Amino acid sequence: MEAHSHLAKSALFDAIAEVAAALAAGRRAEIIDVLAQGERRVEQVAQELQQSVANTSHHLQALHRAGLVSRRRQGARVLYRLAGPEVEELWVALRDAAASMRGDFARLASAYLGELGAVEVVSRRELLQLQADGRVTIIDVRPPEEYLQGHVPGALSVPLSELDRLRPPEGRAVVAYCRGPYCAFAPAAVRQLRSRGLVARRLEGGFPEWRRAGLPVAVGDREGGSPPG
């Protein structure tokens, strides 16, 4: 009986460790961060990681075996998504633990974001107030396919490649957001807009943090089509 109990306990803890092992690669953590924005094709994930489709598919299969991602077929294509909200919570907890426990984490983040990480931040509560007062233009600078799967209500889809066409109403501030605290899109947008003399800040965290805070989310077409200009 004791031997059986020990074996059962070992199997249980091995299963838990297998989930952790599936995340024990930087590219797989990147994949979880990308899929936290919504469902993506293998080719799209590969492009985000700047890796081959074959290598990306290998990582996705490992995550699938561990139960961290699910997949479905759309014709000849395979699409992946996070298996559930618990996976995103696991990713956030792991990311935050690394930020608090690794003494070199701030240096690593700074090496990636550089001066981009120093832009002014607006809180979610303040953004809601600015929006209610009609004093802000909100821009989502993630890829359009991520915007379509969920975005801040009223936000314009303005990828960085289209940013130079943005012409917000005179006197209105701009708030940009992207994938999260370690995404470079929004800080880059803010610095570019400020170089044009516009008042611009980035939203604290990013869209996943907005959604997890229980705030309203819109889904569907790009608001107003192309950026105003």
Q: Using an 8 Å Cβ cutoff, are 191 and 118 in contact?
A: no
183 is an active site residue: no
The catalytic residue among 178, 186, 188, 189 is 178
Enumerate residues 6+ apart whose C-beta is below 8 A from 155: 138, 139, 140, 147, 177, 218, 223
CA angle 79, 14, 94 (to 5 degrees): 60
Helix (H) or strand (E) holding 202: strand 200-203
Look up tokens 């943090």; give the residue: 209
Enumerate residues 6+ apart whose C-beta is below 8 A from 102: 108
Please choose, from the candidates 111, 114, 109, the residue with its C-alpha nearest in 3D space to the C-alpha of residue 188: 114
Q: Using an 8 Å Cβ cutoff, are 160 and 143 in contact?
A: no
| DSSP H stretches of helix in 39-139 | 42-49, 53-65, 85-101, 105-113, 124-132
Instruction: Using DSSP, state whether 174 is helix, strand or coil.
Output: strand
Active-site positions read: 178
